[in-house]
Amino acid sequence: MNNTLAKFRTYCNSLTKYSRYKTREVFVGETPLGAYNPIRIQSMTTTDTMNTIATVEQSIRMVDAGCDYVRITAPSKLEAENLLNIKNELRKRGYKVPLIADIHFTPNAAEIAARIVEKVRVNPGNYADKKSFRNIDYTDSEYDQELDRIRQKFTPLVKICKEYGTALRIGTNHGSLSDRIMSRYGDSPLGMVESALEFLRICENENYYKIVLSMKSSNPKVMVQAYRLLIRKMEDENMYYPLHLGVTEAGGGEDGRIKSALGIGTLLEDGIGDTIRVSLTEDPEFEVPVALALVNRYKNRENHQDIKPLDALPYNPYEYTKRQTFEVSGIGGNNVARVVADFSRRKFITVDTLADIGYFYDSAFDKWNMNDSAADFIFLGDIVPDFDLPNGLKPINNYSSWKNNKNKSSPLFTAKEYLNNVNLSKDINFIRLGIADLDDVLSEKLKNQKTTVIVLESENLHAMPEQRRVFCELLFQEITNPVIIKRTYNKISLEDFILFSSTDFGALLIEGFGDGVWTECPIIERDLPDNVYIKSFVQKNETYEKTINKILFGILQAARTRISKTEYIACPSCGRTLFDLQETTDLIRKKTEHLKGVKIAIMGCIVNGPGEMADADYGYVGSGIDKITLYKGKEIVRRNIPALNAVESLIEIIRENNDWQEPKL
Ligand code: SF4
């Protein structure tokens, strides 16, 4: 396959050389972003905005943790007015942090806030529109009338921002596109971009330029495509506004971190992003270290080894297309991405060892049971087990050991061994390949060997783009062998491992690259961070292999490449939330985590939640004090029921829709 794009236009400075994409500098108070300023970190308070002291104290905790900006919700005029008290109290306590008002549906609150705080965020999907989920067929003149209506509603805010020097974020969310945008562009990255551009053009007509843009989605694939497309479209109109990166409703714990890193990290790898907010269903001060870890990874990135530049692009970075491969023993073709567990650092393995990667031996019945996160391959280095492995788990050995145990496993060759070898396995052969190995001789041999799977490695500091460069070469040369992406990390903390591996694998998977994942991680610091969310995911004494296996399956799920568990779309909560969102999310998770593939949204408020639930199958949405409204897709099925029984009612609805299964004991 060679679908080289006739015109090579990309969305960043380079796909092979790390370089920050330069945007216009915008001052938010005295802290500028964009251009060559550091990537700014921000988060959002979860307190009631009317509670001045609680909001001030939480803001201070966020600043002390490393926030450059603090965002506060202003659902109505009252909260917008109270921003002045919050700002004054912060200044009194010596904190000059710029404040951002978060606005949905209430232009009058925005107009008050713009006179008080340093920046206002509006959502173009709900600033001038109420969503009815109707598909309306607009004529061109009706569409223009709609744009005129928006201009009239939005221009007063722009004029105030201009007068007061207030910055503005046009923050599009995938889940809350207006009916107008949906009817013309669909539920798509292009629709998200057009939604922002409509508002942006109004600003420029007023000669107002202190603008930041965001394109958030709970689906990292959609989010990444939307930002890329936004850059292209802005360049077409000679616009270079700074970008705020975020994955919305990412949830909490490891899933929230994986999803956030996958979306934000993928863009940071290409030098995109001027400010980030990691949005977790956790206290906001826990979001900040995650954001800092993601950003700090790029401090010395420009010193990486050179990667041969691209002068054409053999895939479309604005749409997902899976790279076509042939199948070798269950890898490649139309199979889901495979997971390779690496036990090569062990001296031996036992039957019990395999429980770490999802296989449980039942001695009473002499049979193996497996769970939904059972690895597909196990790399054993030179170990030859003295028991029969479960059927679903295929062993791989170094070529030197395989030679003596040919019918027990599959060989892993170095490129040199592979080129010199005439005696390959007749079933499946793995070859370790780095960018320098792929010469004409090897390319020719790979093309002719329909039993070979590439294990793609990189030691470059800029490893993901180097591996992406190899995928481009494979596409150019029409080499269709399956590829397992392999990464090795040394001396890394657990939290960094979650974030970095999610970025590195996820960035390739959402491009359609990779038929499997494999990581070798010799050292993860065993001291777990002082974070209850991470501690609930990784037990103190669990093995590296078990942790890695869980994370790899989580990455595949977040990239929507392989579904092995329930997906939760949970908002981070804010001053609009009227119930304990973290506690409720935990409770729902405990009761439903065995429902593989079901997507459940837990949203703090009825004003914004339903629009933001994206493609959830079921929704649990706060709709008043002690009141919950339950959704099946976008339809309300129970309105304002008491919170006390709402989780049980949610389960009833899942049951009625045949998505319920009894948990295995
Ligand atoms: S959905 Fe959640 S974060 Fe968004 S406005 Fe409502 S309560 Fe706040």
SS (H, E, C) 104-137: CCCHHHHHHHCCCCCEEEECCCCCCCCCCCCCCC
Which residue is closest in CA terms to ligand 1's atom 3? 573
C-alpha pair distances (Å), 345 with each of 114, 388, 505, 544, 549: 58, 20, 22, 10, 15
Question: Residue 550 class from Cβ within 10 Å (0-12 exposed, 13-18 middle, 19+ buried)?
Answer: buried
pLDDT of 529 = 57
* Pocket perturbation via mutation, ligand 1, pick of 103, 576, 585, 629 by most ligand atoms within 8 A of CB: 576
User: Whose CA is closest to 110, among 85, 77, 72?
Assistant: 77
Residues 6+ apart with CB under 8 A from 205: none
**Any ligand 1 atom below 6 A from CB of 12:** no
C-alpha pair distances (Å), 197 with each of 106, 142, 211: 20, 18, 12
**Any ligand 1 atom below 6 A from CB of 602:** no
Q: Cα separation of 158 and 422, whole Å?
A: 71
Q: Cα separation of 632 and 373, whole Å?
A: 27
Phi, psi dihedral angles at 169 (to 5 degrees)? -105, 125
Ligand 1 centroid to Cα of residue 608, in Å, is 6
Which residue is closest in CA terms to ligand 1's atom 5? 608
**Any ligand 1 atom below 6 A from CB of 170:** no
Phi-psi sector, 300: left (phi>0), alpha (psi -120 to 50), beta: alpha
State the Cα torsion 159-165-166-172 to the nearest 10°: 60
> Which amino acid is residue 62, in one-letter code?
M
With beta carbons less than 8 A apart as the criterion, state whether 139 and 187 touch: no
pLDDT of 664 = 73
State the DSSP H helix or E strand holding residue 583, giving kind and residue range, or none if neither.
helix 581-592
Q: Tell me the two tokens of residue 599.
A: 């997507």
User: Whose CA is closest to 100, among 217, 22, 214?
Assistant: 214
pLDDT of 252 = 80
With beta carbons less than 8 A apart as the criterion, state whether 492 and 526 touch: no
Ligand 1 centroid to Cα of residue 574, in Å, is 6
**Any ligand 1 atom below 6 A from CB of 604:** yes
User: Whose CA is closest to 276, among 289, 295, 258?
Assistant: 295
Q: Tell me the two tokens of residue 307.
A: 């990667």
State the Cα torsion 140-142-148-154 to the nearest 10°: -110
3-state secondary structure of 174: helix
> Which amino acid is residue 204, in one-letter code?
E
State the DSSP H helix or E strand holding residue 532, giving kind and residue range, or none if neither.
helix 532-535
**Any ligand 1 atom below 6 A from CB of 569:** no
Rounded to a whole number, what is the distance in angstroms from the first to the last CA of the chain? 48
Phi-psi sector, 431: left (phi>0), alpha (psi -120 to 50), beta: beta
C-alpha pair distances (Å), 431 with each of 412, 453, 458, 476: 6, 6, 14, 20
State the DSSP H helix or E strand holding residue 257, giving kind and residue range, or none if neither.
helix 253-260
Q: Tell me the two tokens of residue 265.
A: 């990290």
C-alpha pair distances (Å), 117 with each of 37, 47, 86, 212, 509: 21, 18, 10, 15, 40
User: Whose CA is closest to 244, among 102, 24, 42?
Assistant: 42
Q: Tell me the two tokens of residue 358.
A: 């999802």
Strands (E), 3-157: 26-28, 31-33, 40-44, 69-73, 99-103, 119-122
Residues 6+ apart with CB under 8 A from 256: 250, 278, 279, 280, 281, 282, 533, 570
3-state secondary structure of 72: strand
Residues 6+ apart with CB under 8 A from 628: 579, 620, 621, 622, 638, 640, 641, 642, 643, 646, 649
The atom number, within ligand 1, closest to the CA of 104 reads 5
Q: What is the mean pLDDT of each run of 10 residues along the chain (665 residues)?
A: 54 96 97 97 96 97 96 96 98 98 93 98 86 69 90 96 98 87 89 95 97 94 96 95 93 89 98 96 89 96 96 93 97 97 92 95 93 95 94 95 89 95 90 96 94 97 98 97 95 88 98 96 60 63 87 95 91 87 92 93 89 86 94 94 95 96 79
With beta carbons less than 8 A apart as the criterion, state whether 147 and 196 touch: no
Residue with tokens 């503005």: 168
User: Whose CA is closest to 578, among 618, 554, 609?
Assistant: 609
**Any ligand 1 atom below 6 A from CB of 609:** yes
Ligand 1 centroid to Cα of residue 180, in Å, is 23
- Provide the percentage of residues in the chain whose pLDDT is more than 70: 95
3-state secondary structure of 639: strand
61-65, Cβ contacts within 8 angstroms, sequence gap of 24 or more: 61/284, 61/285, 62/284, 62/285, 62/288, 63/95, 63/97, 64/285, 65/285, 65/288, 65/289
pLDDT of 6 = 43
**Any ligand 1 atom below 6 A from CB of 623:** no
With beta carbons less than 8 A apart as the criterion, state whether 268 and 274 touch: no
**Any ligand 1 atom below 6 A from CB of 41:** no
Number of other residues whose CB lies within 10 A of the CB of residue 661: 13
* Pocket perturbation via mutation, ligand 1, pick of 121, 247, 573, 625 by most ligand atoms within 8 A of CB: 573
Q: Tell me the two tokens of residue 651.
A: 């389960």
Ligand 1 centroid to Cα of residue 68, in Å, is 22
Phi, psi dihedral angles at 198 (to 5 degrees)? -55, -45
Question: Residue 557 class from Cβ within 10 Å (0-12 exposed, 13-18 middle, 19+ buried)?
Answer: buried
Q: Cα separation of 658 and 34, whole Å?
A: 49
Bridge partners of residue 394, in order along the sequence: 377
pLDDT of 1 = 37
Q: Cα separation of 518 and 377, whole Å?
A: 9
Q: Cα separation of 106 and 170, whole Å?
A: 14
Would you say how long the chain is, in residues?
665
Which residue is closest in CA terms to ligand 1's atom 8? 574
User: Whose CA is closest to 429, among 451, 403, 457, 400?
Assistant: 451
The atom number, within ligand 1, closest to the CA of 577 reads 7
